[in-house]
Structure 1
Amino acid sequence: MSTIVDVLTRLGLPGRVPADVLADPYAALLPTPVTSDPFFVDPDASGPVDAPPGTVLRSREVTGRVPRPRTRLRQFAVASTDARGRPVTVTASLMEPRRPWRGPGPRPVVVHNVAIDSLGLAATPSYRLMHGVGQDFPTVVPLWLQRGYAVLIVDHEGPRMAYAEGTMAGHAVLDGWRGLLRIEEAYRESPTVMYGYSGGAIATVWAAQLQPTYAPELPSAGAIAGGTPTNVGLLRETMNGTLASGLYGAAVIGMAREHEDLAHEFGPLGLYLATRIKDLSVIPLALGGLARLPLEALATDPDVFDSPVARAVIEANTPGTGAPSAPFAFYHGALDRWIPEHGVRALADTWRAQGADVEVRRVVGDHFVGAVSALPFVLRWVATRFTEAVIR
């Protein structure tokens, strides 16, 4: 057990966990509801919405705290399904340049999957666009808008903020896309590409893999993802007990919100810490990595990663059982120490074996520098997909 865990234990933190948290750890891990804006109040709290996935449940046109005179901002909520196929509601935002599209064909759409990497509902991109400043790394949305593209941003962690849970993210993105075509029929003929980096790449990978079976009617022109975490088990080698352990632990909390059995793997100290960070956004969660906490020390079982529950969750969040039907491109920093590149290449090979068109590009830098150094490649790749779609 690490020194920091010994210190926290001697301070008596495990004994401070309330009885109701020990009795129902799953409920204790769920995010605190947002009450400051009725648009984001989760209607599922009073019973799931009985509507086909992609049904628009409500919408509004807003300005937001930060004026965007050249951009129209609309927000909407759609019916979707979670990782276990249960009905949930997902929110999304559509950003459109006010100037007319002067390129060939209809205005293209980028489904931009933000690296949310957060546990609190106030950190969703749509809430931030309305009540604060949008948070995205790298900052690509202005580049899409400058080129005249419409940008769809889906709050892909879902109503439980299930950070890193792939199926929830994939369903949310695809149902948000379906909702877009219902609130703006002009985009039914638009070439559409999905994009995401790091945490946003998880959503992009899963949406691309699930699209042929979950939403085959959606006209995908391709998808591109960078710095992609493809396997939670692989990340144990690079993130657990390191400076990245704050985000790794947050991802485990996020997945426990969709896989209830995983919540029961948290020991008293793990529950104490988890219930105190369950509403934080990415920056404080990342700073939590300074403690370098190994997750095994926070679980009921020191071999928790080999438990049947953990293995089942890891398997459920490892893509490869299906493959995209549209072209897909991965890019990855050559010096990325946190996200193993061999996981990306293994997934690309798995998809190719199923007939997918997959490209893998190594770019300059680590996880952070590579996100920026790859932008010329990303912009060219997306523009090419749009041009090819119009020509066809």
Structure 2
Amino acid sequence: MSLDAMTSARRTGRGLAGKRSPWATLAAAMLAVALIAVTGPAAATPGSGSASGSGSRGDFYLPPTPLPAGAPGQIVRSEPFTLALSVPGAQGQVPANAVRIMYLSADTHGRPAAVTGTYLEPTLPWPGPGPRPLVAVAPGTQGQGDQCAPSKGFAELVHYSFPLDLWVSYEIVTAYALLARGMAVVMTDYHGLGTPAVHDYVNRAAEAHAVLDSIRAARALTGITRPSAIFGYSQGGGAAAAAAELHGDYAPELDLRGTYTGAPPADLRAVLASAPAVNGLVPGVLGGFAPGLLGYTLNGIVANNPELAPVVDEVTNAAGKQMMAELATTCVAEAVLRTMLRPVTWYTAGGRQPIEIIDSTPELAAIVDDQRIGRRKPVAPVLIAAGTNDDVLTYPQVRQLAVDWCGQGATVQFEPTVWLPPLFPSTAIGHLLEFLPATVAAHDWLTQRLAEVPAPSNCAALP
């Protein structure tokens, strides 16, 4: 199907899309995923690469050397592909026609980099008002192995390599729920996820660049300038928040109507100091389910700052070095299986907690401090969600992000989830359960912003 045909999906004016129940939309998307999985996905079809580079399945993710000159968001190559969860429809695939993209962006140092992602043009109508919008989804933690890239998950659905490498990209549900509302979706893979570079996990600048440039890339691909929004939870919440506050300086031409950031790691120092899932239920004795996130973080720090390799080598022991090497090629499920229930001090020299290492190592402290989100004012409105019993990305540091942005005069709606009890702290259940109510609230809020309804703010209620 041609790109022109793909981008000519019908538009109607049936009133505000927000009137559709967000719970019903999310449930419908999940049901569609389940039904298509049962009836069988459409067979994959090979795509064709663009003139700027080969687009075959084997080398699509290998950037050309040197990179072509161009502005951030320029398409390096693209290829249509068949979604693993789809059925044929009158306008192509249901729920969307998909294009795998590689586009120009910038790494944490501002140097040109190639980033991959997925563009999804829905074959359902947009109920309006106004033109069909575009939502840039910043995915949550996928892992650090190239096989974890969300763009691969859309086509493959389930990835498995012996013995522990089993992965399903859960962000398919996020994308399909937005597609069910008639919104176009672009989802970045982030810098280094899929491509040969190391994915610099929770790196503020690189993630913000990748998200904002994905909106530019969607515009370059389709030739359509659309009102846009950003949507992210967990690692994606951090990327969304970082993009929201860099928007005015890095990509001021974008018509960004609002950003949803759920459970963001706004203060990495605070997360490493307080997260039970990282530090364990009994620090130093009984570990949590997510000490491996420290390995992802350290791998990214070393990749971006190779001069710090001796410093990281000094603060990790033999088990820590092995953990970093193993996790560099894993998706997050395997990382959990490899590290769960071991205290994080199992991996550090002298059995020190991560916060002790940061506080006593100026070089690492400077890098961690640079990841702090909340020091720049977002131009567009922001919705922030947080669970009071989140055991991965702890509540106080998310609330502080809202306070910081409110103090700068931003339009912020802060929505805490207080009714979820502390279930099995350190297992990440408190973090995972918050995803659903936060997502439901975000759908309605984003739809209102895209309809240009004035954004609410509860900054006055935050000390």
Task: Decide which moves more: 289-298 or 195-204.
Answer: 289-298
Show the 5 A alignment for 1:11-30: none
1:290 aligns with 2:340: yes
Higher RCO by CA contacts (8 Å cutoff, separation 6 or greater): 1
Task: Say if 1:65 and 1:371 are closer, same or farther in 2 by CA, change over 3 A.
Answer: closer
Matched to 1:90, the amino acid is: V
Aligned to 1:19: none
271, 275, 279: which one aligns with 2:329:
279
* SS of alignment partner, residue 210 of structure 2: helix
Alpha-carbon offset, residue 297 of structure 1: 4.4
Aligned to 1:178: 216
* SS of alignment partner, residue 240 of structure 2: helix
**TM-score scaled to structure 2, two decimals?**
0.71
> Within 2, Cα distance between the matches of 1:51 and 1:58?
13
> Within 2, Cα distance between the matches of 1:93 and 1:390?
30
* SS of alignment partner, residue 90 of structure 1: strand
Task: Decide which moves more: 56-65 or 145-154.
Answer: 56-65
> Within 2, Cα distance between the matches of 1:132 and 1:41?
21
Alpha-carbon offset, residue 137 of structure 1: 5.3
Alpha-carbon offset, residue 259 of structure 1: 2.7
Q: Where does the alignment leave 5 or more consecutive residues of structure 2 unmatched?
A: 1-55, 88-92, 159-167, 281-286, 421-429, 456-463
Aligned to 2:243: 207
8 Å contact kept, 2:258–2:382:
yes
Matched to 2:259, the amino acid is: A
Matched to 1:305, the amino acid is: I
Show the 5 A alignment for 1:131-150: 131-133=156-158, 135-136=169-170, 139-150=173-184
1:114 aligns with 2:114: no
8 Å contact kept, 2:389–2:395:
no
Alpha-carbon offset, residue 91 of structure 1: 0.8
Alpha-carbon offset, residue 353 of structure 1: 2.0
CA deviation vs aligned residue, 1:292-344 (integer Å, no higher than 9, x gap)? 24258435995531201110111111112212100001111122122221111
The alignment's C-alpha RMSD in Å is 2.4
Task: Say if 1:234 and 1:322 are closer, same or farther in 2 by CA, change over 3 A.
Answer: same
Show the 5 A alignment for 1:217-366: 217-237=253-273, 238=275, 239-241=278-280, 242-243=287-288, 244-264=290-310, 265-266=312-313, 267=316, 269=318, 270-294=320-344, 297-299=347-349, 303-306=356-359, 307-363=361-417, 364-365=419-420, 366=430
> Within 2, Cα distance between the matches of 1:389 and 1:95?
25
> Within 2, Cα distance between the matches of 1:149 and 1:346?
31
**TM-score scaled to structure 1, two decimals?**
0.83
8 Å contact kept, 1:54–1:78:
yes
8 Å contact kept, 1:138–1:371:
no
> Within 2, Cα distance between the matches of 1:232 and 1:262?
18
75, 94, 105: which one aligns with 2:130:
105
Task: Say if 1:287 and 1:143 are closer, same or farther in 2 by CA, change over 3 A.
Answer: same
8 Å contact kept, 1:222–1:327:
yes
8 Å contact kept, 1:110–1:193:
yes
> Within 1, Cα distance between the matches of 2:129 and 2:347?
57
Matched to 1:290, the amino acid is: M
CA deviation vs aligned residue, 1:108-142 (integer Å, no higher than 9, x gap)? 11111111341101101112223334612593222
> Within 2, Cα distance between the matches of 1:127 and 1:137?
12
> Within 2, Cα distance between the matches of 1:107 and 1:94?
14
Aligned to 1:37: 58
> Within 2, Cα distance between the matches of 1:320 and 1:296?
32
> Within 2, Cα distance between the matches of 1:128 and 1:222?
27
Q: Where does the alignment leave 5 or more consecutive residues of structure 1 unmatched?
A: 1-34
Task: Say if 1:126 and 1:390 are closer, same or farther in 2 by CA, change over 3 A.
Answer: farther
1:125 aligns with 2:150: yes
> Within 2, Cα distance between the matches of 1:173 and 1:107?
19
